[in-house]
Structure 1
């Protein structure tokens, strides 16, 4: 026998043409909703066979002391440091964490969101997958008043708490450094442009070129799907085969920057004399590769700590989850031998 479909606040909202958040507030007798509207919504909910989500109610009553973390790939140094910062602050405050990774797949992220919603979390910290373009799967948290903080890879369309770095300034700074080292044909390894971090890094790169009167050559801008080592090697091969190859590369991450160095060395290209390279994140591999990779530091642990602080502040004070607070942290240029032509 086929199970009967469970009625949700979305079904009630659709029938009454109210927003899901209005339905949720009315069902919980929120003072912002008129008594007349509350009575009408509750009457319709009863008629439709709606049963309240006791799990969500327990979250609102702070019975759960667990934070959910949704990230792309746990094996990336930036992400592991981010998680470390979150967990450190959460545990000091008596909270545990549940971690889920999407492997940069949107479908995985949707499943992970539902699993975390069903796991009694009292707050959610999210760094979006590379594929994610819409965040409808996270609305159930907001509708139930479960606080969300987005970190690093954040959605543009939501007016909500975010913890980010100044990716534009970082991209500009990295490109400016290569220009000051004498580079005039600078390539850029760009990540998916619907992701805020890679779009802003590319914008900083382009504006730095323009400010120094260097033409923007689209042949030198390589767009990546996942910024993997293999993609970096393939892109470097393509660039070095050009009639006018680049004399500098700014990569949106360290992985592809390292692959560029290794492939260029195989081709007999001198680093940094003939090709200066700078990456992004300061992953451990940046200091192991020879020559050492110049990079932009990414304050991952600090970002994680701030995320946990914001979530716990919301949970304790029962703040409106729609309030927007954007925390922007600075980055630093870390110069190593891969770009250091002038011996700074």
Structure 2
């Protein structure tokens, strides 16, 4: 079937006997064109099947009303909530969103950055991939005064906006909760240590042990490459097969924490009586697994909304991209039955929230 020719403003101009510039202004509701002519032109454009070419418009203006998002894995609950927050705020401001995922691969992230740059986005929101150590591929945006907001996984040495949580305080409080519940040998599932989120959660874990005079045993601190379910499962098996297995696990995400609960049950290890577990993020699966998983809240949607607002404010004020601004949000420890060792006889299905990790 032969492709139908695209209708242009020149086709509309020829049909209505107006100049192309008048057609363009009317389609953009310019005040210089009267209401009657505007209504006539817009009605004809609709009937003729005219579609505005946003790409061509962005080429003329060298910018668009499109915000780019670069994330690691779109199928993670935290990421999907983050994207929802971005889209909601962008839509209210009349902006569109382009989403790309790297699957935690550095090479993919570099290619995605180029594709978004070539699309002439007006701003970029980024959560770094696991493999990313070099952030040179973001310099092209800064050179063109395109604002960048790094969210959650952020670089150490790149002037930009950052929207984060206090990962250190959250890691400390999660570990302290297990200590308060009677755990004395607490394992830790740590992610890639060059990323701020995992590095700071581990530091919080270590300091909580030190402050409570508990020994630090490197053999029960496990660096998981991607924090996947399978990695968590394998790590838990190894820990439980030790001569002196841990009585608690603090996992830097919920995925690995859930796998720890299920693996413990497979090995007839009682949770929380023999192994207390706490995760991070408060993913939906945390309240579904049996027993429900204690975790740390992560305000992903709000982080997305704030990130979008940073871009909108930056663009409206025409600020310089050589800026370093940090927005830090609070978190809460959500206590469920996977970690309630001291109240086994009173287990219930209602989560309990304790003190926030303050910024």
1:122-162 residue CA offsets vs partner (Å, 9 max, x unmatched): 10000000000011111111001111010000000112110
**Contact 1:60–1:146 at 8 Å: present in 2 too?**
no
1:297-325 residue CA offsets vs partner (Å, 9 max, x unmatched): 00000000000000111111110111111
**Contact 2:160–2:325 at 8 Å: present in 1 too?**
yes
CA separation in 1, counterparts of 2:61 and 2:312? 14
Offset of residue 60 of structure 1: 10
Runs (4+) off by over 2 Å: 57-63
Offset of residue 120 of structure 1: 2.0
The change in CA–CA distance for 1:62 and 1:92 in structure 2 (over 3 A counts) is farther
**Contact 2:154–2:196 at 8 Å: present in 1 too?**
yes
CA separation in 2, counterparts of 1:63 and 1:245? 57
CA separation in 2, counterparts of 1:249 and 1:75? 24
Structure 2: tracts of 5 or more residues without a match: 1-54, 344-351, 353-359
1:251-281 residue CA offsets vs partner (Å, 9 max, x unmatched): 0000000000001001110000000000000
Q: Which moved more, 1:316-325 or 1:81-90?
A: 316-325
Instruction: Tell me the equivalent position of 2:248.
Output: 248
Residue 205 (structure 2) pairs with residue 205 (structure 1): yes
Instruction: Tell me the equivalent position of 1:92.
Output: 92
TM-score, with structure 1 as normaliser: 0.82
1:97-123 residue CA offsets vs partner (Å, 9 max, x unmatched): 000000000010011000000112110
The change in CA–CA distance for 1:107 and 1:196 in structure 2 (over 3 A counts) is same
Structure 1: tracts of 5 or more residues without a match: 1-54
**Contact 2:113–2:138 at 8 Å: present in 1 too?**
yes
**Contact 2:63–2:121 at 8 Å: present in 1 too?**
no
TM-score, with structure 2 as normaliser: 0.79
**Contact 1:295–1:335 at 8 Å: present in 2 too?**
yes
**Contact 2:147–2:160 at 8 Å: present in 1 too?**
no
**Contact 2:62–2:120 at 8 Å: present in 1 too?**
no
Q: Which moved more, 1:59-68 or 1:288-297?
A: 59-68
Instruction: Tell me the equivalent position of 1:234.
Output: 234
Task: Output aligned runs, 1:1-344, within 5 Å.
Answer: 63-343=63-343
Offset of residue 342 of structure 1: 2.4
- For the pair shown, the structure with the greater C-alpha radius of gyration is 2
CA separation in 1, counterparts of 2:59 and 2:161? 19
- Structure with the bigger RCO (C-alpha within 8 Å, sep 6+) is 1
**Contact 1:69–1:100 at 8 Å: present in 2 too?**
yes
CA separation in 2, counterparts of 1:146 and 1:215? 48
Instruction: Tell me the equivalent position of 1:3.
Output: none
The change in CA–CA distance for 1:234 and 1:210 in structure 2 (over 3 A counts) is same
CA separation in 1, counterparts of 2:91 and 2:59? 18
CA separation in 2, counterparts of 1:120 and 1:242? 54
The change in CA–CA distance for 1:145 and 1:209 in structure 2 (over 3 A counts) is same
The change in CA–CA distance for 1:305 and 1:62 in structure 2 (over 3 A counts) is farther
Offset of residue 58 of structure 1: 5.4
CA separation in 2, counterparts of 1:219 and 1:158? 34
CA separation in 2, counterparts of 1:186 and 1:306? 35
How many residues end up aligned between the 2 structures?
290
